[in-house]
Structure 1
Amino acid sequence: MNIAIIGGGAAGFFLAINLKQLSPNITVTIFEKNTTVLAKVLVSGGGRCNLTNSFASIDSLHQAYPRGDKLLKRALRIFNHLDTYKWFEDMGIKLVTQEDDCVFPLSQNSNEIIECFKSLSKELGIIVKTSYNLSSITFNDKYALTFNQDNERVQYFNAVVITTGGSPKAEGLNYLETLGHKIVAPVPSLFTFNIPEDPIRELMGIVAENTIVSLQGTNIKASGALLITHWGMSGPAILKLSSYGARILNDKQYRFKILVNWVNEVNCDTITDYLNSIAAKNPNMKVSNVRPYDISSRLWHFLLNKAEIPLDRKWGELGKKGINKIMNRLSNDEYSVHGKGSFRDEFVTSGGVSLESINFNTMESKSCKNMYFAGEVLDIDGITGGFNLQAAWTTAYIAAKAISQQLKEN
């Protein structure tokens, strides 16, 4: 039996390795269009490879996966984050779970994961071919594939697995649509916000640890740390918001307004009462010298200026109007976003092959027998924190198990 895997990324290698472990006598070939394999694994987590997440802070799977959560919930019963943890540790890679629930190799080096995959592939006899770009695929008893190498020589396979990752353009998935699969137009997910010509950028490098950021005019919001950059805003809260609002933000052509709650307190009366208590205790102190909610000094001064409160004004002189101005700035600070920036740790798209086209128990195509899918080519995407790689491991494992079972039955 001859199996082709199209795409030499995380899902492709994980699937190939698990498949060969389950069915050692089959021939498995990975075809990668680029000159190197596992490129995204290399840069994941800032070069440390955020393998998965402990899911400890996730109350609902929809929090982690804005799209695909319902079917993925079922898939995670077969292979979840605990299985991922055990799999890599069984392969000799020690893992560590950080305070933010992200799981990394103890070495903090993504090369350890890459070398593990390459070593296992060699040991198991998996064939890896780079610079092989798929030119055509047809089916008649077997799959006939041609590549832009080997003078377009036709190669035949009993089964094909598509693990090509996220496609930035729908045209890259046209061949799958021709084969009967529904394609959800891909749009970017997980990106930073450009806020040009706004003085906030002068605070670059400051992190507000506990914020709520919302998309104005919608119910979409995200919480977490916010990083001010020289181009605008980044950090977990912004990245999550970009994921939750991926399709709406694309429709808006990345021109929209956000509201920042710098203190993660949604009750305005609670903020007002707290500010009044500060004023009562420190009536003769300058407003600039007493910072509520442990806000950084530079950010506090910036917000006071934006609220038109003189830095040398005393707390006792603020009055109801002054307190209200500060409360509004802390809880409802508006910024205009004009464009998106890149997030180099993860390159994620929302969209791909519709889950309606897939049997999620096996990852097999509903329209093409013996064609399987795994990874980000599917219309599943998660927030930052190891969730996208977990989806890759889960779908790849299920596909490998299903292919192996199919071979046994035949």
Structure 2
Amino acid sequence: MFDVIVLGGGAAGFYGAIHIAESNPKLQVAILERGKDVLGKVKVSGGGRCNVTHAEFDPKELTKNYPRGERELLGPFHNYCTGDTMAFFEKRGVPLNIEADGRMFPSTNSSQTIIDCFVGETERLGIKVLKNSSVVGITPLDKNKGKDDYSWEIKSIRNSYKAKKILVATGSNPKIWELLRQMGHTIVPPVPSLFTFNIKDERITGIQGVSTNASIKIVPTKVNNGKYKAALKNYTIHPSDLESEGPLLITHWGMSGPGILRLSAWGAQLLNELNYKFSIKINWLPAYHEEGVLSQLQQIKEIEGKKTVLRTKAFQLPKRLWISLVKASGISDTDKWADISKNQIQNLAKQLTNSKFNVDGKSTFKEEFVTAGGVDLKEINFKTYESKILPNLFFAGEVINIDAITGGFNFQNAWTGAYIAAQAIAKGL
């Protein structure tokens, strides 16, 4: 018998349990974790360094990094934001470092530091952590029929428990979503959110590892143009959300990097609808438009006529990428600027500012699998993170239909939701 049972031994689950027990030390709190280990996603996040949060301290600006949940998170972020997260860890001897791109990591650069902090806190506060306890049933109890004030019975594969309140922090767990659906909640079908693009194209073959800042835009193919337009309306996506500027990394299988991952998050539902077959247009020189580049190329032709095009450093681009785009324009290794035609120059300007690539499939971004989907946001009170359908049932983290771009934002959503839910739970007991 427990006052509170937290379902899920991940980031949101531990953070919530710790805050519940701290707010009311008399409460009996337990975490049920289906696996043999806890905090698995924390361990692999940020390449094993754990990207705890992001150095954006303005709640409104912070919400702009959430394709799903932007409107709902404004109030919660005013309540508990990045600075509060930093204070939580620093109070427990875990200072965070801010990197140039805004990502924040423990100063040890090891996710184990975060795991040790959480596990140590649960031991200090007397929170029971029950591993290998996959939940198979959640049943609301009729208080009128019993003498106790327990609201829930939770069945795991090992045992049965009663609790006054539940915090569901199970992440992307289809079995838990199904149990919630059976109890009356609407579950938005989950689709992958953070992923890289599979592209086979001669222009990027053999130049894997090249990274550069680029402007990228998702566009439909001729075949799926109708489906693309329908999906835009269906998921209320603005075309500007499908444009991104940032670092782009060429890989063995296609393209990755923050610029691509941002598009994968904003376009998650639409791209799933298109079965991950679509096109992207890339401007490799985001500071320029096609006419400006064409004008500059014509000036270079006049000044550097005796030099070969391939060996000229016309723009600040990685050398291997420049060579590839020059060749794609129909210009050979030995062609000099003076010898190339007007058509070849126009082709080069187009390759540099308006390259089109066909995407056919996706790949998971490292081990940091994130989904769009989960408990419908309309069914949650974001002042408390309590269910509007089932009293004494609370949510935090990725179990609800909120997800973010890469950079520590998904963790901040977990910390904020878990903290607010914890305060409401502790106050109500």
Does the Cα contact within 8 Å between 1:256 and 1:337 map onto a contact in 2?
A: yes
| Aligned partner of 2:324 among 298, 302, 306 | 302
Does the Cα contact within 8 Å between 2:134 and 2:157 map onto a contact in 1?
A: yes
> In the superposition, relative to structure 1, how do residues 252 and 258 fare at CA in structure 2: closer, same or farther (>3 Å)?
same
| Aligned partner of 2:350 among 328, 341, 348 | 328
How many residues are matched? Answer: 401
Aligned residue for 2:75?
A: 74
Aligned residue for 2:218?
A: 215
> In the superposition, relative to structure 1, how do residues 393 and 203 fare at CA in structure 2: closer, same or farther (>3 Å)?
same
Aligned residue for 1:143?
A: 152
| Aligned partner of 2:261 among 226, 239, 246 | 239
Cα deviation, residue 244, structure 1 = 1.0
Does the Cα contact within 8 Å between 1:22 and 1:401 map onto a contact in 2?
A: yes
> In the superposition, relative to structure 1, how do residues 287 and 207 fare at CA in structure 2: closer, same or farther (>3 Å)?
same
C-alpha distance in 1 between matches for 2:273 and 2:189: 12
- Give the TM-score normalised by structure 2: 0.90
Aligned residue for 1:342?
A: 364
> In the superposition, relative to structure 1, how do residues 132 and 262 fare at CA in structure 2: closer, same or farther (>3 Å)?
same
2:404 corresponds to 1:395: no
Does the Cα contact within 8 Å between 1:58 and 1:64 map onto a contact in 2?
A: no
Aligned residue for 2:234?
A: none
Aligned residue for 2:55?
A: 54
Task: Write the mapping of 1:227-376 to structure 2, written as runs, cut at 5 A.
Answer: 227-265=249-287, 267-376=289-398
Query: Partner letter of residue 216 of structure 2?
Result: V
Deviates more, 1:134-143 or 1:49-58: 49-58
C-alpha distance in 2 between matches for 1:57 and 1:214: 27
> In the superposition, relative to structure 1, how do residues 57 and 334 fare at CA in structure 2: closer, same or farther (>3 Å)?
farther
| Aligned partner of 2:171 among 165, 170, 174 | 165
> In the superposition, relative to structure 1, how do residues 59 and 124 fare at CA in structure 2: closer, same or farther (>3 Å)?
closer
C-alpha distance in 1 between matches for 2:24 and 2:356: 57
Deviates more, 1:118-127 or 1:58-67: 58-67
> In the superposition, relative to structure 1, how do residues 249 and 225 fare at CA in structure 2: closer, same or farther (>3 Å)?
same
Task: Write the mapping of 1:55-204 to structure 2, written as runs, cut at 5 A.
Answer: 55=56, 60-61=61-62, 63-140=64-141, 141=143, 142-150=151-159, 154-167=160-173, 169=174, 172-196=176-200, 198=202, 200-204=204-208
1:13-56 CA distances to partner (integer Å, 9 max, x unpaired)?
A: 00011111111000110000011000000000000000000127
1:278-298 CA distances to partner (integer Å, 9 max, x unpaired)?
A: 334322221111123321111
- Local SS of the residue matching 2:205: helix
C-alpha distance in 2 between matches for 1:62 and 1:306: 40
1:44-79 CA distances to partner (integer Å, 9 max, x unpaired)?
A: 000000000012799844541111011111110011
Query: Partner letter of residue 20 of structure 1?
Result: A
C-alpha distance in 1 between matches for 2:316 and 2:345: 17
C-alpha distance in 2 between matches for 1:385 and 1:373: 23
- Local SS of the residue matching 1:203: coil
Does the Cα contact within 8 Å between 1:201 and 1:231 map onto a contact in 2?
A: no
Aligned residue for 1:6?
A: 7
1:166-207 CA distances to partner (integer Å, 9 max, x unpaired)?
A: 23x5x6511111222111100001001112464513111111
- Local SS of the residue matching 2:214: strand
Deviates more, 1:23-32 or 1:220-229: 220-229
Aligned residue for 2:33?
A: 32
Aligned residue for 2:226?
A: none
Note the aligned Cα RMSD (angstroms): 1.8
Does the Cα contact within 8 Å between 1:283 and 1:316 map onto a contact in 2?
A: yes
Cα deviation, residue 270, structure 1 = 2.2
C-alpha distance in 2 between matches for 1:290 and 1:183: 56
Does the Cα contact within 8 Å between 2:63 and 2:74 map onto a contact in 1?
A: no
C-alpha distance in 2 between matches for 1:190 and 1:292: 34
Deviates more, 1:309-318 or 1:121-130: 309-318
Does the Cα contact within 8 Å between 2:32 and 2:131 map onto a contact in 1?
A: yes
Query: Partner letter of residue 259 of structure 2?
Result: A
- Local SS of the residue matching 2:296: helix
- Local SS of the residue matching 2:217: strand
1:223-247 CA distances to partner (integer Å, 9 max, x unpaired)?
A: 1111111111111111111111100
- Give the TM-score normalised by structure 1: 0.94
Does the Cα contact within 8 Å between 2:167 and 2:395 map onto a contact in 1?
A: yes
Query: Partner letter of residue 78 of structure 1?
Result: N
Identity value in percent: 39
Cα deviation, residue 94, structure 1 = 1.6
> In the superposition, relative to structure 1, how do residues 71 and 369 fare at CA in structure 2: closer, same or farther (>3 Å)?
same
- Name structure 1 gaps, 5 residues minimum: none
